[in-house]
Amino acid sequence: MKNPKKSLSIVGIVLAVILVVGVWMYFSPHEITGGSISGWYFGSQRWSGNILVMGDVMVFGDLAVAPGTVVKFVVGDDQGGGDEVPADGFNDADPTRLLSYSTTHSGITILRKFLSVGTEKQKIIFTSASAKPTLADWEAIVFFGNGSVVDNTLVEYNRNGLNPVGRQADSIIRNTVVQHVLWGAISTAHSGISAIGNYLADAGHEGLDVGYEGTGQVIRGNTIENCHTAIVVLGGSPLIEDNVIKNC
Protein backbone atom coordinates (compact mmCIF):
# COMPACT_ATOMS: atom_id res chain seq x y z
CA MET A 1 0.00 0.00 0.00
CA LYS A 2 1.30 3.48 -0.91
CA ASN A 3 2.46 5.79 1.83
CA PRO A 4 0.17 8.89 1.62
CA LYS A 5 2.75 11.10 3.32
CA LYS A 6 5.38 10.11 0.74
CA SER A 7 2.94 10.82 -2.10
CA LEU A 8 2.18 14.24 -0.66
CA SER A 9 5.91 14.98 -0.36
CA ILE A 10 6.46 14.10 -4.01
CA VAL A 11 3.53 16.30 -5.05
CA GLY A 12 4.95 19.15 -2.95
CA ILE A 13 8.37 18.80 -4.57
CA VAL A 14 6.85 18.77 -8.06
CA LEU A 15 4.77 21.88 -7.30
CA ALA A 16 7.83 23.65 -5.87
CA VAL A 17 9.85 22.85 -9.00
CA ILE A 18 7.03 24.12 -11.22
CA LEU A 19 6.83 27.33 -9.17
CA VAL A 20 10.60 27.92 -9.34
CA VAL A 21 10.70 27.28 -13.09
CA GLY A 22 7.68 29.53 -13.62
CA VAL A 23 9.23 32.38 -11.64
CA TRP A 24 12.54 31.96 -13.49
CA MET A 25 10.77 32.01 -16.87
CA TYR A 26 8.75 35.08 -15.88
CA PHE A 27 11.70 37.18 -14.77
CA SER A 28 14.24 35.98 -17.36
CA PRO A 29 14.15 38.16 -20.51
CA HIS A 30 12.68 36.50 -23.59
CA GLU A 31 14.48 37.44 -26.80
CA ILE A 32 12.58 38.50 -29.92
CA THR A 33 14.95 39.20 -32.79
CA GLY A 34 12.96 40.30 -35.80
CA GLY A 35 9.81 38.75 -37.23
CA SER A 36 6.08 39.30 -36.64
CA ILE A 37 4.45 39.65 -33.21
CA SER A 38 0.90 39.84 -31.85
CA GLY A 39 -0.94 38.96 -28.65
CA TRP A 40 0.15 38.39 -25.03
CA TYR A 41 3.79 37.97 -23.93
CA PHE A 42 4.47 36.78 -20.39
CA GLY A 43 7.66 37.74 -18.59
CA SER A 44 10.16 40.43 -19.47
CA GLN A 45 10.93 40.86 -23.16
CA ARG A 46 13.99 42.03 -25.08
CA TRP A 47 13.41 43.14 -28.67
CA SER A 48 15.92 43.76 -31.45
CA GLY A 49 16.08 43.78 -35.24
CA ASN A 50 13.14 44.56 -37.52
CA ILE A 51 9.79 43.73 -35.90
CA LEU A 52 6.36 43.81 -37.52
CA VAL A 53 3.37 44.27 -35.19
CA MET A 54 0.33 42.44 -36.62
CA GLY A 55 -2.08 43.05 -33.71
CA ASP A 56 -2.34 44.45 -30.18
CA VAL A 57 0.63 43.44 -28.00
CA MET A 58 0.40 43.09 -24.21
CA VAL A 59 3.66 42.56 -22.29
CA PHE A 60 3.22 41.12 -18.80
CA GLY A 61 6.64 42.28 -17.61
CA ASP A 62 9.37 44.74 -18.63
CA LEU A 63 10.11 45.53 -22.27
CA ALA A 64 13.69 46.44 -23.22
CA VAL A 65 14.33 47.48 -26.82
CA ALA A 66 17.87 47.35 -28.25
CA PRO A 67 19.45 50.32 -30.08
CA GLY A 68 18.76 50.28 -33.81
CA THR A 69 15.53 48.29 -33.49
CA VAL A 70 12.76 49.21 -35.95
CA VAL A 71 9.17 48.35 -34.96
CA LYS A 72 6.51 48.78 -37.63
CA PHE A 73 2.74 48.46 -37.22
CA VAL A 74 0.49 47.09 -39.94
CA VAL A 75 -2.66 49.09 -40.56
CA GLY A 76 -4.96 46.41 -39.19
CA ASP A 77 -5.22 44.26 -36.07
CA ASP A 78 -5.44 40.48 -36.16
CA GLN A 79 -6.42 40.44 -32.46
CA GLY A 80 -9.64 42.37 -33.04
CA GLY A 81 -9.67 43.75 -29.49
CA GLY A 82 -10.22 47.28 -28.28
CA ASP A 83 -12.50 49.70 -26.47
CA GLU A 84 -14.34 52.90 -27.20
CA VAL A 85 -13.39 56.32 -25.83
CA PRO A 86 -16.60 57.84 -24.39
CA ALA A 87 -18.00 60.97 -26.00
CA ASP A 88 -16.79 64.05 -24.12
CA GLY A 89 -18.42 66.91 -25.98
CA PHE A 90 -15.20 67.85 -27.76
CA ASN A 91 -14.22 64.87 -29.91
CA ASP A 92 -17.59 63.26 -30.55
CA ALA A 93 -17.09 63.36 -34.32
CA ASP A 94 -13.61 61.80 -34.17
CA PRO A 95 -13.88 58.29 -35.66
CA THR A 96 -10.69 57.12 -33.92
CA ARG A 97 -12.41 57.21 -30.53
CA LEU A 98 -14.88 54.53 -31.69
CA LEU A 99 -14.64 50.77 -31.15
CA SER A 100 -14.44 50.29 -34.91
CA TYR A 101 -11.06 52.06 -34.86
CA SER A 102 -9.45 50.33 -31.88
CA THR A 103 -10.44 46.84 -33.07
CA THR A 104 -8.71 47.42 -36.40
CA HIS A 105 -5.57 49.22 -35.22
CA SER A 106 -2.69 47.92 -33.11
CA GLY A 107 -0.91 49.25 -30.05
CA ILE A 108 1.55 48.12 -27.37
CA THR A 109 0.80 47.95 -23.64
CA ILE A 110 3.63 47.23 -21.17
CA LEU A 111 2.52 46.43 -17.63
CA ARG A 112 5.94 47.07 -16.10
CA LYS A 113 8.95 49.14 -17.24
CA PHE A 114 9.49 50.33 -20.79
CA LEU A 115 13.20 50.68 -21.60
CA SER A 116 13.60 52.06 -25.12
CA VAL A 117 17.14 53.36 -24.98
CA GLY A 118 18.77 54.06 -28.32
CA THR A 119 21.82 56.11 -29.23
CA GLU A 120 22.40 59.10 -31.53
CA LYS A 121 23.65 56.76 -34.27
CA GLN A 122 21.28 53.88 -33.53
CA LYS A 123 17.88 55.31 -32.75
CA ILE A 124 14.93 53.07 -31.94
CA ILE A 125 11.98 53.59 -34.29
CA PHE A 126 8.25 52.91 -33.83
CA THR A 127 6.38 53.73 -37.03
CA SER A 128 3.73 52.70 -39.53
CA ALA A 129 4.32 49.82 -41.94
CA SER A 130 2.20 51.56 -44.60
CA ALA A 131 3.84 52.60 -47.86
CA LYS A 132 2.04 55.93 -47.40
CA PRO A 133 1.88 56.45 -43.63
CA THR A 134 -0.62 58.85 -42.11
CA LEU A 135 -1.99 59.92 -38.73
CA ALA A 136 -3.42 57.18 -36.48
CA ASP A 137 -2.09 54.22 -38.52
CA TRP A 138 -1.59 52.60 -35.09
CA GLU A 139 -2.75 53.41 -31.56
CA ALA A 140 -0.11 54.15 -28.90
CA ILE A 141 2.60 52.87 -26.58
CA VAL A 142 1.18 52.57 -23.05
CA PHE A 143 3.47 51.68 -20.13
CA PHE A 144 2.96 51.43 -16.36
CA GLY A 145 6.35 50.76 -14.73
CA ASN A 146 8.13 53.34 -12.58
CA GLY A 147 11.76 53.64 -13.68
CA SER A 148 10.91 53.53 -17.39
CA VAL A 149 13.36 55.26 -19.76
CA VAL A 150 12.66 56.38 -23.32
CA ASP A 151 15.79 57.85 -24.92
CA ASN A 152 16.86 58.47 -28.52
CA THR A 153 13.62 56.99 -29.81
CA LEU A 154 11.36 58.01 -32.71
CA VAL A 155 7.58 57.51 -32.44
CA GLU A 156 5.38 58.56 -35.36
CA TYR A 157 2.12 58.12 -37.27
CA ASN A 158 0.05 56.86 -34.36
CA ARG A 159 -3.06 58.12 -32.63
CA ASN A 160 -1.72 59.00 -29.21
CA GLY A 161 2.07 58.99 -29.02
CA LEU A 162 3.59 57.88 -25.71
CA ASN A 163 1.27 57.16 -22.76
CA PRO A 164 2.96 56.59 -19.38
CA VAL A 165 0.33 55.61 -16.80
CA GLY A 166 0.52 55.48 -13.01
CA ARG A 167 2.79 57.20 -10.51
CA GLN A 168 6.07 57.15 -12.44
CA ALA A 169 8.05 59.81 -10.62
CA ASP A 170 11.36 58.07 -11.51
CA SER A 171 10.59 57.61 -15.23
CA ILE A 172 11.90 59.87 -18.01
CA ILE A 173 11.43 60.59 -21.70
CA ARG A 174 14.43 62.38 -23.21
CA ASN A 175 16.14 63.06 -26.55
CA THR A 176 13.10 61.57 -28.27
CA VAL A 177 11.04 62.59 -31.32
CA VAL A 178 7.26 62.14 -31.34
CA GLN A 179 5.66 63.45 -34.51
CA HIS A 180 2.71 63.12 -36.91
CA VAL A 181 0.29 62.19 -34.11
CA LEU A 182 -3.49 62.64 -34.27
CA TRP A 183 -3.99 63.24 -30.53
CA GLY A 184 -1.23 64.12 -28.01
CA ALA A 185 2.47 63.47 -28.59
CA ILE A 186 3.19 62.72 -24.90
CA SER A 187 0.21 62.21 -22.58
CA THR A 188 1.63 61.77 -19.10
CA ALA A 189 -1.73 60.62 -17.66
CA HIS A 190 -0.95 62.00 -14.19
CA SER A 191 2.17 59.81 -14.07
CA GLY A 192 4.77 62.31 -12.86
CA ILE A 193 7.20 61.31 -15.62
CA SER A 194 9.77 63.93 -16.66
CA ALA A 195 10.23 65.01 -20.30
CA ILE A 196 13.58 66.57 -21.16
CA GLY A 197 15.11 67.57 -24.49
CA ASN A 198 12.46 66.08 -26.77
CA TYR A 199 11.14 67.20 -30.16
CA LEU A 200 7.33 67.06 -30.37
CA ALA A 201 5.67 68.07 -33.63
CA ASP A 202 2.55 67.84 -35.76
CA ALA A 203 0.11 66.76 -33.03
CA GLY A 204 -3.61 67.37 -33.49
CA HIS A 205 -4.15 67.94 -29.75
CA GLU A 206 -1.28 68.87 -27.40
CA GLY A 207 2.44 68.39 -27.65
CA LEU A 208 2.49 67.37 -24.00
CA ASP A 209 0.07 67.23 -21.08
CA VAL A 210 0.85 66.96 -17.37
CA GLY A 211 -1.34 66.43 -14.34
CA TYR A 212 0.75 64.78 -11.62
CA GLU A 213 -0.49 65.91 -8.21
CA GLY A 214 2.88 65.42 -6.52
CA THR A 215 6.12 67.37 -6.92
CA GLY A 216 9.29 66.77 -8.89
CA GLN A 217 7.92 66.49 -12.43
CA VAL A 218 10.22 68.34 -14.86
CA ILE A 219 9.34 69.51 -18.39
CA ARG A 220 12.55 71.07 -19.67
CA GLY A 221 14.31 71.86 -22.93
CA ASN A 222 11.66 70.46 -25.27
CA THR A 223 10.92 71.89 -28.70
CA ILE A 224 7.19 71.80 -29.48
CA GLU A 225 5.94 72.98 -32.85
CA ASN A 226 3.00 72.74 -35.22
CA CYS A 227 0.70 71.31 -32.52
CA HIS A 228 -2.82 72.49 -31.70
CA THR A 229 -1.65 73.26 -28.14
CA ALA A 230 1.88 73.12 -26.77
CA ILE A 231 1.61 72.16 -23.07
CA VAL A 232 -1.57 71.46 -21.11
CA VAL A 233 -1.36 71.49 -17.30
CA LEU A 234 -4.23 69.48 -15.85
CA GLY A 235 -3.00 69.63 -12.25
CA GLY A 236 -0.03 69.46 -9.94
CA SER A 237 3.02 71.72 -9.76
CA PRO A 238 5.42 70.69 -12.55
CA LEU A 239 8.62 72.61 -13.22
CA ILE A 240 8.29 73.85 -16.81
CA GLU A 241 11.30 75.74 -18.14
CA ASP A 242 13.45 76.45 -21.21
CA ASN A 243 11.01 74.94 -23.73
CA VAL A 244 10.78 76.31 -27.28
CA ILE A 245 7.26 76.62 -28.67
CA LYS A 246 6.55 77.37 -32.33
CA ASN A 247 3.32 77.69 -34.27
CA CYS A 248 1.02 76.21 -31.63
Identify any residues that bridge with 72 across adjacent strands, giving them in sequence order.
Answer: 52, 127
Distance CA 146, CA 48 (A): 23
Look at residue 215 in the predicted model and tell me its pLDDT. Answer: 83
Q: Convert the pLDDT of each residue in 155-203 to its tens digit.
A: 999 999 999 999 899 999 999 999 999 999 999 878 999 999 999 999 9
- Whole-prediction pTM: 0.88
Look at residue 16 in the predicted model and tell me its pLDDT. Answer: 59
Q: Which is nearest to 107 in space by CA: 187, 49, 173?
A: 187
At residue 150's C-alpha, the angle toward residues 125 and 179, to 5°, is 50
How far apart are the two ends of the chain, measured CA to CA in Å?
83
At residue 193's C-alpha, the angle toward residues 62 and 98, to 5°, is 75
| Alpha carbon 103 to its chain's center | 18
Look at residue 148 in the predicted model and tell me its pLDDT. Answer: 98
- The low-confidence residues of the chain, meaning pLDDT below 50, are 20-21, 24
Distance CA 142, CA 114 (A): 9
Contact yes or no for 48/33 (Cβ under 8 A): yes
Conformation bin of residue 177: beta by default, left when phi > 0, alpha when psi is -120 to 50: beta
Look at residue 9 in the predicted model and tell me its pLDDT. Answer: 67
